[in-house]
Amino acid sequence: MRNTVSRGKRWTFITNHAAVLSLIVHEPHLTAREIAQRVGITERAVWRILSDLEQGKYITKQKVGRRLEYTINLDRPLRHPSHGDKNLADLVNILKPSR
């Protein structure tokens, strides 16, 4: 049986969407640039993810001064059919970022 995982490619179990969400749960004041630096993706990718999360009603944004702050809607169900009985609160409880 051939190994299908490419050697040298970095992968994780947590998607970029989950990583961004985890950060804003605990630090809603972070800028897109700060989120991008912590997750290791581009700022443009962060904006796309934030847009996806907002369109899915997983987050709401509010302007505070010159910055945006995000509120997480923890009662929203997870999107994958096999996790339909779980909500966002279940996910963020296990995704506390390490310091």
Domain range for 29 is 16-88
pLDDT digits (tens, 9 = 90+) for 13-35: 889 999 999 999 988 889 999 99
Cβ atoms of residues 53 and 24 within 8 Å: no
22: in domain? yes
Q: What is the pLDDT at residue 7?
A: 63
**pLDDT for residue 79:** 84
From residue 99, how far is each of 11, 15, 27, 96 by CA, in Å?
20, 19, 12, 9
Q: Do the domain assignments include residue 99?
A: no
For the chain, what is the domain count?
1
- The Cα 35–Cα 49 span in angstroms is 11
In a domain, 8, yes or no: no
Under-70 pLDDT residues of the chain: 1-8, 97-99
Tell me whether residue 94 is in a domain: no
The reply to whether 6 falls in a domain is no
